[in-house]
A and B are shown apart, each in its own frame.
Chain A
Amino acid sequence: MNQKNNLIIGLIIAGVIFMSANVGADPRDFVEGLPNIGIIAQEITEVDPSLLGTAFWAMLETIQMAFIGTVIGVAIALPLSLLAARNLNSKFVYVPIRALLAATRTFPSILWAILFVIIVGLGPFAGVLAIIMYTVGFIAKLQYEAIEAVDADPMDAVSAIGVSKLQLIRFVVLPESASHLLSQILYIFDYNIRQTSILGLVGAGGIGFYIINYIKFFEYGKAAVFMLVVLVTVLIIDWVSVRIRDKYIVKSQRGMQVKV
């Protein structure tokens, strides 16, 4: 068993070395480039505080985009995840829905953003649409997995009463998976804020637009102001999600551990 493990680890390491050579990932380039970090670090400290106002409004736009994208994305994902769950549907329903969701997940949000910039033009609306698409594909997968993990006992007990599927969903599936669903929604909102922050790279609105432009013109100090605002925002949102988790999720999970 140990020998087998060693062989697997050896093969993985060999794979990394071989593939690095293939893609031209040479550690020597990194060592040679190290002094550049110093230049960036020096320029980044030359923060321009006059841009803070602009950065704040750009961040607010980003948060709004992420919020709309998350809410609408989750609203679309939830019914789809109920249709994609194997414990609630026949093969003929869940297989095509899963295929659709997998197709949605194929594109990262930045590619969706490029697509929507072409369709609806430059600006935050394209970004919101991109976030919606990404959220649907991603959160629906997490949610149908959570739904499939719902304890079979309450499902059996309530199905045995002869209730409708909608009633089963409302009274068993949703309450039993609620803490997972909430946790995933918080996670995707947090994730979407960071995603939306870079969508400006392709002209889809948000704070990323400023960051990429200042970096293009080597104005690292100005870009730094915007990055700092992103950092602070992400930290605040992280803190808020921890509080929400403590209040609603940890408590119910403790409940789940109590043996019947």
Chain B
Amino acid sequence: MSLAKPSKVKTLEKSLIFTKTIVQMNDVSASYDSKSYVLKNIKLSIERGSNYAIVGQSGSGKSTLLRLMNGMMNPSEGKIMIDYQTPNMSDKKFKKLMHKIGYIPQNLGLIKNSTVLENVLIGALPRVSGLNSFLKKFSDSEVSNAKKILKQVGLEGKAERKVYMLSGGEKRRVAIARALVQEPEIILADEIVSELDHVTAREIMDVLAEAQATMNLTAVMVHHDLQLALEYADRVAVIKEGEKILEIGVEGDRIVDFQSGNYTQREILEMFSDEPKE
């Protein structure tokens, strides 16, 4: 791998920013305890329909970045725009947008005692009236759509299984299906393939990549593994100690540096050469 210097691509991207950007962060900082920052002066913009990866080691602040994007957390400084709206869970207008953000947390957040289908139908809840959802009554079209998506993610015939009976890879497919049932614009996935073997990890990534292509989604995925991120993402932001130190992507057989980072290729690879430490 060789890292190229900032190229013309960067200027080209800038000119398209106003029409294509779905996520925009300007000098965003975040803190949990007001004493220390988890994220510092993050600038990034994510194009609609692209596959954006955020890579960093444990504690680098990458999960916080996702929580800022879906409004689960507010930035202490800076401005965030998601589809031209500022994320805020208590804002009714943003709540409508939340219906279109498929969020898959690191531990997936599945209901273990419910069936696969029940878990997946949770994604359809914004389209179901209060009373019907309380009675767990979904329309036939919602159920058949959910089943179609289960088939798409490779869980055909497992709709009635309880989630706790599934394997790790299958659970991830359920979480993806739940997000897809939302008919999302964006999918935010937090280390969805960590702790999986290489084969299963790639299978899961392929499922997401296929869904992204067919449904024209924007995917923002947090990873531990730089190699995997580069393989699937259009762009990779590297976060270290709360700061974005690089933004790279693969162009043909080269790695392009979109942000003039101060790190050499060797330094970047060294950062990720060790097994991730929890």
* A-B complex is real: yes
**Which residues of A are in contact with B by a Cβ distance under 8 Å?**
153-164, 166-167, 170-172, 175-176, 178-179, 252, 254-256, 258, 260
List the B residue with the shortest CB-CB distance to A176: B111
Q: Are B171 and A260 within 8 A (Cβ)?
A: yes
Given contacts A161-B126, A166-B130, A255-B165, contact A156 B72 (CB under 8 A): yes
Q: Which residues of the other chain, A, contact B126 by a CB distance below 8 angstroms?
A: 161-163
Closest CB in chain B relative to A249 CB, distance in Å: 11
B98 within 8 A of A: yes
Apart from A161-B122, A161-B126, list 18 A-B contacts with CB within 8 A: A153-B105, A153-B108, A154-B111, A157-B175, A158-B109, A159-B72, A162-B99, A163-B126, A164-B133, A166-B133, A166-B134, A167-B133, A171-B125, A175-B111, A252-B112, A252-B113, A254-B164, A260-B108
Q: Which of B101, B104, B130 is within 8 Å of A164, CB to CB?
A: B130
Contact A162 B122 (CB under 8 A): no
- Do A260 and B125 contact each other (CB < 8 Å), given the known contacts A170-B136, A171-B118, A252-B113? no
| Residues in A neighbouring B106, C-beta threshold 8 A | 153
Interface mask (B56-83 → A, CB under 8 Å = 1, otherwise 0): 0000000000000011100000000000
Indicate if B103 sits at the interface (CB-CB under 8 A): yes
B96 is an interface residue with CB less than 8 A from chain A: yes
Given A167-B125, A167-B133: A256 touches B164 (CB 8 Å cut-off) = yes
Is there an interface contact between A260 and B107, defined as CB atoms closer than 8 Å?
yes
Contact A153–B109 (Cβ < 8 Å): yes
The answer to whether B114 touches A161 (Cβ under 8 A) is: no
From A257, which residue of chain B is reached at the shortest CB distance?
B164
Judging by beta carbons under 8 Å apart, are B96 and A258 in contact? no
B182 CB contacts on chain A under 8 angstroms: 161
Contacts of A157 in B (CB 8 A): 103-105, 108-110, 175, 178
29 of the cross-chain contacts (CB-CB < 8 Å) are A153-B109, A154-B110, A156-B72, A157-B105, A159-B89, A160-B70, A160-B103, A161-B98, A161-B126, A162-B97, A164-B133, A167-B125, A167-B130, A167-B134, A170-B134, A171-B111, A171-B118, A171-B125, A175-B113, A175-B114, A175-B118, A252-B113, A252-B164, A255-B112, A255-B162, A256-B164, A260-B110, A260-B168, A260-B171
0/1 string, B231-244, CB within 8 A of A gives 1: 00000000000000
How far apart are the CA atoms of A158 and B101 in the complex, in Å? 11
Q: Is the CB of B112 within 8 A of A258?
A: yes
CB-based contact A160/B164 at 8 Å: no
Q: Tell me whether B148 is interfacial, beta carbon within 8 Å.
A: no
Contact of A176 among B101, B113, B118 (CB under 8 A): B113
Number of interface residues of B (CB under 8 A): 41
Interface residue? B249 (CB, 8 A): no
Query: B residues within 8 A CB of A162?
Result: 89, 95-99, 126
Closest to A252 in B: B113
Specify the main secondary structure of chain A where it touches its partner.
Answer: helix
* Residue among B109, B118, B134, B168 with the highest chain A CB neighbour number at 10 A: B109
Q: Are B112 and A256 in contact (CB under 8 A)?
A: yes
**Residues of chain A contacted by B71 (CB below 8 angstroms):** 160
Q: Which 3 A-B pairs have the closest CB atoms?
A: A157-B109, A255-B164, A162-B98
A161 touches which of B103, B163, B171 (Cβ 8 Å): B103
Pick from A160, A171, A252: contact of B72, CB under 8 Å: A160
Chain B 106-146 near chain A by CB (<8 Å), digits 1 or 0:
11111111100010001101100010011010000000000
The chain A residue with its CB closest to the CB of B104 is A157
Chain A residue contacts of B103, Cβ below 8 A: 156-157, 160-161
A252 to chain B, nearest CB (A): 5
Chain B residues lying within 8 Å of A161, measured Cβ to Cβ, are: 98-99, 101-103, 122-123, 125-126, 182
Give the chain A neighbours of B123 by CB distance below 8 A.
161
Provide the residues of chain A in CB contact with B113, threshold 8 Å.
Answer: 175-176, 178-179, 252, 255-256
Q: How far is the CA of A258 from the CA of B161 in the complex (A)?
A: 15
Nearest-Cβ distance from residue B130 to partner chain A, whole angstroms:
6
Once the chains bind, are A172 and B111 in contact (CB under 8 Å)?
yes
Chain A residues near B110: list those with CB within 8 A: 154, 157, 260
Contacts of B134 in A (CB 8 A): 166-167, 170
- A221: shortest Cβ distance to chain B, in Å? 50
- The reply to whether A160 and B107 contact each other, CB–CB distance below 8 Å, is no
In the complex, chain A residues whose CB is within 8 Å of the CB of B104: 157
Q: How near does chain A come to B67, taking the closest CB pair, in angstroms?
A: 9
Pair A160/B112 contact, Cβ less than 8 Å: no
Measured between beta carbons, the chain B residues less than 8 angstroms from A166 are 130, 133-134
Tell me, in angstroms, the Cα distance from A153 to B163 when the chains sit together.
15
